[in-house]
Structure 1
Amino acid sequence: MKILVLNGSLRGNTGNSAVLANHAVTLLGQQATMLTLSDQLPGIREVYDLLASCDGILVVSGVYWNNWSSPLQRFIEVVSAFENTPAFFGKPVACAVSMDSVGGIEVAARLHAVFSGLGCWSPPCATVVVSRTGQEAIAASAGMDDDPNEDVWRMDDLSIVVHNLVTAAAMPRDNWKAWPHSALHIPDGPWPANGALDLESPKFL
C-alpha cells in the first residue's frame, strides 16, 4: 500500500500546510511518499511513474484568495495530460487544507471535483480543514463542560481522513468505467515549472 502526499504548500517545507503534510506522513509511516510541489520536481515521466505507483492520494494546500496554491495549480495543469490513465484512474483522493478564516471547505470541494475529473474518487470523511480561527476557538473553550467547539476540525482529525484513505486505497480498481475524453499530449523532459505550457489541447479561437 502506497499513499502519495502532495504537499502543495506555497512555503514548501514550512508553514501550516507543510505541518499537515508532515503529520500525514507520520501517520502513514512507510506507506507514505511525499512530493513537495514548490520544490524542483523530477521529469514529467518520473512524476507520472510516481503517481502510477501509488494507491491513493492526499492533497494538501493552504488557501490563497479562495484558491489553492500556485504550485498545486501548476501541478494540476501539467498532470491534466494524465487524465483517466493509471496515474489517477480509480484511486481514492483525500484533502487536507489550512486556512486563516474562510474559503477552506470551498477549496477542498473544488479539489475533490478536479481529481474526480482526473479519474479519482472520494471516500467518506475524506476532508479536513484546519483554520487559525478554529484553533483559537478550540483553545478558548478547552476544558469547558459541554465544549461548544468539540466538533471544530483540528489536527487530530487528520488521522480519520488518513484511515479512510488507506481503507479506500485497498479496494479493487478494476470495475470503474471512464467516460470518453480527448487525451492530451504528455511531453517528455524536465518538469515545466514555469513558462508557457502547451499540452496540445484543442484550439478554437
Structure 2
Amino acid sequence: MNILIINGSLRGTSGNSAALAKHAAAILGKQATILTLSDPLPGIREMYQLLASSAGFLVISGVYWNNWSSPLQRFIEVVSAFENTPAFFGKPVACAVSMDSVGGIEVAARLHGVFGGLGCWTPPCSTLVISRTGQEAIAASAGKENDPNEDVWRLDDLSVVLHNLQTAAAMPQPAWKAWPHRELQIADGPWPGSGALDLESPKFL
C-alpha cells in the first residue's frame, strides 16, 4: 500500500517542504515514495503508472503569494488529463503546507478541492499547516504551565495526518460513481515541464 508524497516545493530537496516530505517518509517507511516536482520527472506514461499504483497522496507545498508553487501548478495542469481515472479516482489525499505567517490553510483547502475534482477524497484530520510564526510561538512558551500554544500545529502532528491517510487507503473501495465529464487528451512522451500545454480542452474564443 504505497503512499505517494508529492513535494511541490520550489526548493526541491531543501527547505521546509523537503523537511516535511522526509519526516513523512520516515513515518511511513517502505510504504512511501517521494516525488519531487522540481526534479526531472518521468515520462507521461510512467507518471500515470506511478499515480495509478499509489494508494493515496500526501501533497506538500510552501505558500507563494497565497498560492501553491509553480511546479505543483504545472503538475496539476498536466495530470488534469487523468481526472477520474485509476490514477486518482477514489483515493484519499492529505495536505501539508508550510508558510511564513499567513495563507496556508487557504492553500491547503484549495488543494483538497483540486484533488477532489481529480477524483480523490479527504479523510478527517488530513490537513497540516506549519508556520514560522507558529513554531516561534511554540518555542517561546515551551514548558510553561497551561501552555497557550499547546494546540498549535507542529511537525509531530504529521503522524496524525498520515495515520488517517493510511487508514483511508486501506479501506475497502466503495462503489464511487463519477459524474459525466469530457476526457482530456495528453500525448505519451516526455513530461511537458515547460512550454505551451494543449490538452485539447474546448476552445470557445
**TM-superposed deviation, 1:187:** 1.4
In 2: Cα distance, 1:41 partner to 1:18 partner: 17
Unaligned runs of 5+ in 2: none
Tell me the residue number matched to 1:141.
141
Q: Please report the RMSD computed on the Cα atoms of aligned residues, expressed in angstroms.
A: 0.5
1:174-204 per-position Cα deviation (integer Å, ceiling 9, x unaligned): 4100000000002100000000000000000
Residue correspondence of structure 1 range 34-49 to structure 2 within 5 A:
34-49=34-49
What do residues 18-73 of structure 1 show as CA deviations (whole Å, max 9, x unaligned)? 10011001100000011000000000000000000000000000000000000000
Alignment of 1:126-137 (within 5 A): 126-137=126-137
- Deviations for 1:108-143, whole angstroms, at most 9, x for unmatched residues? 000000000000000000000000000000000000
C-alpha distance in 2 between matches for 1:131 and 1:67: 15
Number of the residue aligned with 2:104: 104
Q: Match of 1:158?
A: 158
Distance in 2 of aligned mates of 1:40 and 1:90: 28
Match of 1:194 in 2: 194
Give 2:122's aligned amino acid.
S
Unaligned segments of structure 1, at least 5 residues = none
Taking structure 2 as the reference length, the TM-score comes to 0.99
- Output the CA distance in 1 between the equivalents of 2:170 and 2:186: 28
- Runs of at least 4 residues off by over 4 Å: none
Matched, 1:7 2:7: yes
Aligned-residue offset at 1:171: 1.1
Aligned length: 205
Alpha-carbon distance between aligned partners in 1 of 2:120 and 2:199, rounded to the nearest angstrom:
21
How many Å separate the matches in 2 of 1:186 and 1:48? 11
Tell me the TM-score normalized by structure 1. 0.99
User: Match of 1:137, as an amino acid?
Assistant: A
Q: SS in structure 2 opposite 1:133?
A: helix
